[in-house]
Amino acid sequence: MDKKGVDILKDRKTSKSTAFTAEERSHRGLRGLLPYTISTQEIQKLRVIENIRKKESNIEKYIFLSALQDRNERLFYRTVIDYLPELLPIIYTPTVGEVCLQFSHIYRIDKGFYITPEDKGDIDLLLDNWPEEDVRVIVVTDGSRILGLGDLGCNGMGIPIGKLSLYIAGAGIRPEYCMPIMLDMGTNNEELLEELMYLGYPHKRLEGKEYDEIIDEFVLAVQKKYPKALIQFEDFVTPNAYKILEKYQEKVLCFNDDIQGTAAVAFAGVLTSLKITGKVFKDLKVMFLGAGSAATGIADLLVKAYIHEGLTEEEALQRLWFADINGLLVQSRTDLMSHNIPYAHEHEAMSFIDALKELKPDVLIGASGAYGTFTQEVIEIMSEINERPVIFALSNPTSKAECTAEEAYTWSKGKAVFASGSPFDPVEYEDKRFVPGQGNNVYIFPGVGLAAIAVEAKYLPDSVFLVAAGELARQINHSDLDNGTLYPKLTSLRNISFEIAVSVSNHLFDIGLATIEPPKNMRMHIKNMMYDPTY
């Protein structure tokens, strides 16, 4: 039986608030429960954005939007879609970093699902408590490496919640298909363990065999309960991120956004930069500052792209160089993790600055999580080496960016081809206006996720992310390039996600990883799946 009266107003999925028509108000027991005037969703949306703009801080804006999502889901997503460039920094980076830091203090309505070590052996039963039967996209974190902020434990739940909002707004995944999960394994953050209001499992972080067993149980429980679900692993500390991905990538439908999503969006930016620099991709030499999962994930995908262009693996590896806090990654170093070893070349040890001068990279990519590491000297060296130096400062949130857009353009005297992980305002330099592109994973993961569930993929090989990156690079237009922008406008995100989903879906059929019958019209098949929050 349809809900009526107060029940329909309190249900975030069904409520339209003041947009209920006179007939609906009469038929559904709403007379007297709402003001006289019947608003359109358009008017409601204007009221929402007016109230958001009155808020003095981004965290207050986030709380306001979160409350709207809890009471009127369709209005929330309609507003986010129509004001995405303005609201993306609120519902995700950089504000989500602050949200995670304050999560236990601003906690209000339950939005996610939590699993702790005390649930071991019962995870499959636990999943029965989730209200939705047909989950298709799960974003899961263990809170061990939230953005560039480190171990935030249970407070990291802000990340899965934010990412799934972007799946819905950016690619039209239906809200009921989405499930944010926190694998709360404890935390090694002493401040959190001593904090009175901390909501997480108040113990040191689980490690080793016990940790692995809970991951295994979780993945198996998801396969049993939600066999069509895509699992997106998010913000796991680097060794665990790689271990989990390597174990499950070709066994279940999953991917790691920090490794593969970041790689795809960065690769797309590199491809687009060629339209400005005039260089050839297979000839590029790339240097990374930072050697964690994001940086090596980008390099891993670039290796596959180089090989696709006709290089051998050895030739591909020789085009990719890494530096970290201890200098250039070389074979003589004894402090490297397994994912670094392929990129540790036979070369003398030297500082990052000396390596820049000697190796003369075409592209410099920062994924260090260390603010200000692209100094004026670094930018000037890159500008001496290259007529148009390509510089990506990808660390999130903004407080962790290797340099700002203004610094990159000013120190390079307007020569830099710049992109960042967090948003920066346009920059005026010597009568030219530069619009820095944001290499945000939101350009990639929603479309990949839409494709995965559209064709019910078996799993997602790395080639999926090459296809997604290539499609993203094709979406840029000449006016964006003229302003130095390497990524298309966020206002086109749903269309971008749709085009990526079509290309990836066709690719999954081509390589035999789609499990549905081939649709007569792939574009129409995917278009019909996409959620429209309009009422």
pLDDT per residue as tens digits for the range 336-379: 999 999 999 999 999 999 999 999 999 999 999 999 999 999 99
pLDDT tens column, 397-433 = 888 999 999 999 999 999 999 999 988 999 999 999 9
* Domain contains 439: yes
On the question of pLDDT at 1 being above 70, the answer is no
pLDDT computed for residue 148 by the predictor: 84
- Alpha carbon distance 215, 355 (integer Å): 39
CB distance 458 to 518 below 8 Å: no
Residues 6+ apart with CB under 8 A from 14: 3, 8
Residue-wise pLDDT tens digits, 77-103: 999 999 999 999 999 988 999 999 999
**Are residues 512 and 496 both part of a single domain?**
yes
Q: Is 145 exposed, middle or buried (0-12, 13-18, 19+ CB in 10 A)?
A: buried
Pair 273, 225 in one domain: no
Residue 347 exposed, middle or buried by CB count within 10 Å (0-12, 13-18, 19+): middle
Structural domain contains residue 46: no
Q: What is the pLDDT of residue 398?
A: 87
CATH of the domain at 224: 3.40.50.10380
Q: Which two tokens stand for residue 305?
A: 């792209």
For residue 332, give both structure tokens.
Answer: 């003589």
The DSSP output letter for 133 is S
pLDDT value at position 522? 98
pLDDT tens digits, residue range 8-58? Answer: 999 999 999 999 999 999 999 999 999 999 999 999 999 999 999 999 999
Which of 187, 219, 252 is the C-terminal boundary of a domain? 252
Do 13 and 138 fall within a single domain? no
**Structural domain contains residue 51:** no
Give the angle 374-425-483 at the CA atoms, nearest 5°.
Answer: 90
What is the mean pLDDT of the segment spanning 151-164? 98
Angle at which helices 41-54 and 73-82 pack, to 10 degrees? 70
357 in any annotated domain: yes
> 298 and 181 share a domain?
no
Q: Is residue 58 part of a domain?
A: no
pLDDT for 241 beyond 60: yes
CB of 126 closer than 8 Å to CB of 106: no
Give the E-state strand segments of 148-229 in sequence order: 178-183
Same domain for 269 and 245: no
Whole-angstrom Cα distance, residue 155 to residue 101?
A: 7
Three-state DSSP state, 318: coil
Same domain flag for 273 and 381: yes
Which pTM was predicted?
0.95
Same domain flag for 458 and 504: yes
In this structure, are residues 95 and 58 in contact, taking their beta carbons and an 8 Å threshold? Answer: yes
Into how many domains does the chain fold?
3
* Residue 381 sits in the same domain as residue 526: yes
Q: Are 395 and 148 in contact (CB under 8 A)?
A: yes
- For residue 396, name the pLDDT band (cuts at 50, 70, 90): confident
Range of the domain at 173: 95-252
Residues 290 and 160 in one domain: no
Are 59 and 105 a contacting pair, CB within 8 Å? Answer: no
Comparing CA positions, the residue from 118, 133, 234 lying closest to residue 180 is 234
Active site residues: 92, 163
| Radius of gyration of the chain measured on its C-alpha atoms | 23
Tokens 């992980």 label which residue? 421
* pLDDT higher than 70, residue 204: yes
pLDDT per position as a tens digit, 515-528: 999 999 999 999 99
* 341 and 232 inside one domain: no
Given 195, 219, 252, the domain boundary residue is 252
Sign of CA dihedral 258, 263, 266, 269: negative
Token code pair at residue 140: 């899961």
Confidence at residue 215, expressed as pLDDT on a 0 to 100 scale:
98
Question: Do 192 and 236 sit in the same domain of this protein?
Answer: yes
How far is C-alpha 475 from the chain's CA centre? 19
Say yes or no: 288 and 314 in one domain: yes
451-474 pLDDT, tens digit per residue, is: 999 999 999 999 999 999 999 999
Query: Binning pLDDT at 50, 70 and 90, where does residue 111 land?
Result: very high
Is 224 within a domain? Answer: yes
Q: What is the CATH number of the domain that holds 302?
A: 3.40.50.720
279 conformational bin, left if phi > 0, alpha if psi -120 to 50, beta if neither: beta
**Which two three-digit tokens encode residue 472?**
């993203």
Q: Domain ends where: 252, 283, 303?
A: 252
In a domain, 213, yes or no: yes
CA distance 365 to 295: 8
Range from 196-200, 287-291, 298-302, 477-481 carrying the lowest mean pLDDT:
477-481
* Domain annotation covers residue 424: yes
> Whole-number mean pLDDT of the chain?
96
